[in-house]
Amino acid sequence: MLIALVVLAVVLVAAIVVVSRQRSAKRKEGLRIEAREHREEAEIQTSRADAQEAEAQERAARARREQAQAEEQATLARQERRAAQERHEHADRIDPDADDDSAEHRNGDSERIGSDVSDRSVAGRGEDRPRG
């Protein structure tokens, strides 16, 4: 009878060990599956973030190009205005009928207009507002 109890105890301990190992293996497999799912979700999230970053960089590059074009256009406008002013001044100098008041009046207008345009180009960058 003692031998039967010892055998029963050994079988019981062996069964407990087997069941414990099976549970441990099942738990580990569940954790592996969960880890794999997390990795897959992380890859999807990384891909989404990469796409958003690429889009943001593209938009920033487009904005820089547009800003450069706007600045170039403003520079050309200032040059054109200067050339027009020089022509007015030359015409006033050679015109025998031109009086000094009309030249002074035109100079005042062109300076005001020039400042309005430069204010607008600055306002386009969000730095200042045009003076009215």
Looking at residue 98, what DSSP letter applies?
-
Mean pLDDT of all residues belonging to the chain:
85
User: Which residues touch 107 (CB under 8 Å, ≥6 apart)?
Assistant: 85
What does the domain layout of the chain look like in residue ranges? Answer: 30-123
pTM over the 0.85 mark: no
Q: What distance separates the 2 farthest-apart alpha carbons in the chain?
A: 142
| CA 50/CA 56 separation, integer angstroms | 10
3 state SS of 7: helix
| CA 107/CA 93 separation, integer angstroms | 13
Name the band, by pLDDT with cuts 50, 70 and 90, for residue 8: very high
Across 22-40, average pLDDT: 98
* Residue listed under structure tokens 């079988």: 11
